[in-house]
Amino acid sequence: MSVISVVLGGFGASATRPEMLTSALIVGALSAAVLYYMVYSWKRRRMYALAAKIPGPTGLPVIGNVFDVVGDTEETVRKTMAQFRQYQPTYKYWLGPLLLVALTDPRDLEIVLNNYKYTDKSHFYNVFHPLGGQGVFNAAGDKWRRNRKIIAPAFNFNFLVQFVTIFHAMAMRLVGKMKARADGQSFDSYKLVELCTLDAIALTAMGVDVNAQDDDNSEWIRAIRRCFQITRERLVKPWLLPDATFYLTRDAKDQQKCLDIVNKFAHEVISRKKAEYRKAKAELDADPVASKAAAHEREQSRLRQDDDEDIGVRKKQTFLELLIERSESEDGCALTDVELRDEVVTLLIAGQDTTATDNCFNLLMLALHQDVQEAVHQELVDIMGEDPTTCPTYNDLNQMKHLERVIKETLRLYPSAPFIGRDLDHELDVTDYRLPAGCTVLLGLYGTHRLAEYWPEPDKFDPDRFLPERSVGRHPYAFVPFSGGPRNCVGQKYAMLQMKTILSTVIRHFQILPGKDCESMDKFRLQVDFSMTVAGGHNIRLVPRYAGLPERMRSL
């Protein structure tokens, strides 16, 4: 018997007692649900009223626009872009009871991002919590403020510049792998580049050579990549976003196993590095002259911390070693082993895929714009000479202005993080609307970067937009691939140094040509999980440039 017939028939003369009881229960439950919905809606009347003023696609009753974001991520990206084009710069949509407001106007981005009130990240970032725990990316409130203060000095040029030789060594490994693919056949550059950036971040964060480029099958590498994969899946399957549903799945158990491996490895490295630090310190303390000199160097180093010009004078250290040193020697900076682990794992997650995808998009842009590629190659030859194996100095990297413009223009068109989210717990006035309390704000960096008002012919690849004379007067929040304000990307200088080193090394060795299904920007099928990528691969072809060079220069 259907629910309706139970309800209608249940009150008829022929109804039995159990049927009447069932009917009464159903009617009671339905009435309670309707009453609950009415009270719930009444409480949210202000939200509905403010939301009604914001344009956006029409949704279905109760579930709203859920069908726009469920399913194939390529299709979701396609629909999101169409919505952006139709409603820009601000629009709303509903996912069930959740109101999302997409903001792309740079003035609105500034209002939200440049304000300490909105530094806590949206609830959907909970998918990142298993990896990176309460590290700087995930932490909120005072905990975030403290973490950020402790970690910030590690991202000063003065400290980062020592990593250039590591980036170059990893880039040369990549060139070695690419050499085997330089047969004119199309291949997905991401598969090689993501291992290169994993090697680079593991070495610079922990001082461990995981050598993913030669062996991507070790237990740790399999574990960390599986963790990335599970997080990606949660991001594109909305029903896995809440912990309540995710922790019922097999993936959650799998994630725990992999996390145990990743965390155990990190703890082993931390113990080893701490022991090394303490041993070196004990030896130093036993020698008063050396101890005084080290104290002087520490003080000088502290004074240099904010001076980006004064570089290359610190002794070589990894992020972890710097954090251990600060932890053990400075008031208020003591981090527990779990906190140290969370920071190190955070850097692995935040610094690997972002730079991998962006390096790959750069290779694609250079492949599609041969004139730009040749100009960049010429610039590299002018700065560093013909030998493609030379390691760039910091000054060399600084002079790579053309390459820098290419990287920025690529970040404009394909920002690794196309949007970021914040939850509003009170109303907020942006340029054209008052946003209701309780909504989630999506800051659409991708959309901002394509607003014609700020970027004429926005879909065109034109690195010269970033020439100083063409950048004058541009709104500071019109270009925000690394976000902005107090919670911006702490790793942006690292990212620029790493990408310049890897790209310049590859370009000096190979001419890059477009690969299968990547013959034009229109053909890219974009998808978003961890970062924005091309579904079907960042496919390129390579032609060695070193064929005409002396044998010494050809050895890779």
Let me know if 460 is exposed, middle or buried by CB neighbors in 10 A (0-12, 13-18, 19+).
exposed
Q: Which is nearer to ligand HEM, 154 or 230 (CB)?
A: 154
Q: Does 350 bind ligand HEM (CB under 6 A)?
A: yes
Q: Does 212 bind ligand HEM (CB under 6 A)?
A: no
Beta strands in 157-257 (DSSP E): 187-188
User: How many CB atoms neighbour CB 541 within 10 A?
Assistant: 21
Q: Which is nearer to ligand HEM, 88 or 355 (CB)?
A: 355
Which stretch, 14-22, 158-166, 276-284, 413-421, contacts ligand HEM (CB under 6 A)? 413-421
Q: Which is nearer to ligand HEM, 492 or 511 (CB)?
A: 492
Q: Is the bond into 476 cis (omega within 30 degrees of 0)?
A: no
**Is 414:361 a contact under the CB 8 Å cutoff?**
yes
Q: Which is nearer to ligand HEM, 210 or 384 (CB)?
A: 210
Q: Which is nearer to ligand HEM, 80 or 355 (CB)?
A: 355
For ligand HEM, which residue of 491, 514, 537, 544 counts as binding (CB under 6 A)? 491
Contacts to ligand HEM from residues 467-486, by CB under 6 A: 481-483
Contacts to ligand HEM from residues 357-376, by CB under 6 A: 358
Q: Which is nearer to ligand HEM, 121 or 545 (CB)?
A: 121
Q: Which is nearer to ligand HEM, 438 or 481 (CB)?
A: 481
Which stretch, 301-309, 375-383, 428-436, 487-495, contacts ligand HEM (CB under 6 A)? 487-495
Residue 361 tokens, joined: 């998009």
State the residue number with the nearest CB to ligand HEM.
491
**Is 445:481 a contact under the CB 8 Å cutoff?**
yes
Strand 98-103 versus strand 440-443 pairing type: parallel
What is the spatial distance between Cα 1 and Cα 112, in angstroms, rounded to a whole number?
54
Q: Does 162 bind ligand HEM (CB under 6 A)?
A: no
User: How many CB atoms neighbour CB 502 within 10 A?
Assistant: 26
Which stretch, 228-236, 327-335, 345-353, 534-542, contacts ligand HEM (CB under 6 A)? 345-353
Q: Does 346 bind ligand HEM (CB under 6 A)?
A: yes
For ligand HEM, which residue of 99, 266, 335, 490 counts as binding (CB under 6 A)? 490
Q: Does 354 bind ligand HEM (CB under 6 A)?
A: yes
- Closest distance between ligand HEM and the C-beta of residue 100, in Å? 15
Cross-strand partners of 95: 64, 98
- Closest distance between ligand HEM and the C-beta of residue 149, in Å? 10
- Three-class DSSP category at 250: helix
**Is 193:527 a contact under the CB 8 Å cutoff?**
no
For ligand HEM, which residue of 89, 133, 351, 447 counts as binding (CB under 6 A)? 351
Longest alpha-carbon distance in the chain = 103
Q: Does 417 bind ligand HEM (CB under 6 A)?
A: yes
Contacts to ligand HEM from residues 84-143, by CB under 6 A: 121, 136-137
What is the spatial distance between Cα 30 and Cα 15, in angstroms, rounded to a whole number?
20
**Is 104:90 a contact under the CB 8 Å cutoff?**
yes
Residue 487 tokens, joined: 């919670």
Q: Does 410 bind ligand HEM (CB under 6 A)?
A: no
Tell me, what amino acid is at 43? K
Q: Does 148 bind ligand HEM (CB under 6 A)?
A: yes
Q: Does 403 bind ligand HEM (CB under 6 A)?
A: no
For ligand HEM, which residue of 317, 416, 533, 539 counts as binding (CB under 6 A)? 416
As a 3-state breakdown, the chain gives helix, strand, coil percent values, each rounded to 5, of: 60, 10, 30
Let me know if 521 is exposed, middle or buried by CB neighbors in 10 A (0-12, 13-18, 19+).
middle
CA 117 to chain centre: 22
Q: Which is nearer to ligand HEM, 114 or 390 (CB)?
A: 114
User: How many CB atoms neighbour CB 540 within 10 A?
Assistant: 26
For ligand HEM, which residue of 102, 489, 512, 532 counts as binding (CB under 6 A)? 489
Q: Which is nearer to ligand HEM, 415 or 436 (CB)?
A: 415
Query: For the chain, how big is the Rg over CA atoms in Å?
Result: 27
Q: Does 504 bind ligand HEM (CB under 6 A)?
A: no
Tell me, what amino acid is at 449? H
**Is 43:34 a contact under the CB 8 Å cutoff?**
no
Q: Does 495 bind ligand HEM (CB under 6 A)?
A: yes
Tell me the number of residues near ligand HEM by CB under 6 A: 24
Q: Which is nearer to ligand HEM, 93 or 137 (CB)?
A: 137
Q: Does 355 bind ligand HEM (CB under 6 A)?
A: yes
391 is in an annotated binding site: no
Q: Which is nearer to ligand HEM, 466 or 546 (CB)?
A: 466
Cross-strand partners of 441: 101, 422
Q: Which is nearer to ligand HEM, 304 or 408 (CB)?
A: 408
CA 224 to chain centre: 16
Q: Does 487 bind ligand HEM (CB under 6 A)?
A: yes
Contacts to ligand HEM from residues 296-335, by CB under 6 A: none
What is the spatial distance between Cα 502 and Cα 174, in angstroms, rounded to a whole number?
9
352-to-115, 150, 399 alpha-carbon distances in Å: 28, 21, 25
Residue 327 tokens, joined: 């932890």
User: How many CB atoms neighbour CB 13 within 10 A?
Assistant: 4
Go through the chain and tell me how many residues it has: 556
- Closest distance between ligand HEM and the C-beta of residue 205, in Å? 7
- Closest distance between ligand HEM and the C-beta of residue 347, in Å? 5
**Rounded to 5 degrees, what are φ and ψ at 534?**
-100, 120
Which stretch, 210-218, 248-256, 259-267, 491-499, contacts ligand HEM (CB under 6 A)? 491-499
Residue 218 tokens, joined: 């070790």
Q: Does 510 bind ligand HEM (CB under 6 A)?
A: no
Q: Name the residues that contact ligand HEM, by CB under 6 A.
A: 121, 136-137, 148, 346-347, 350-351, 354-355, 358, 415-417, 420, 481-483, 487, 489-491, 494-495
Q: Report the binding-site residues for heme.
A: 489
Point out the annotated binding site: 489
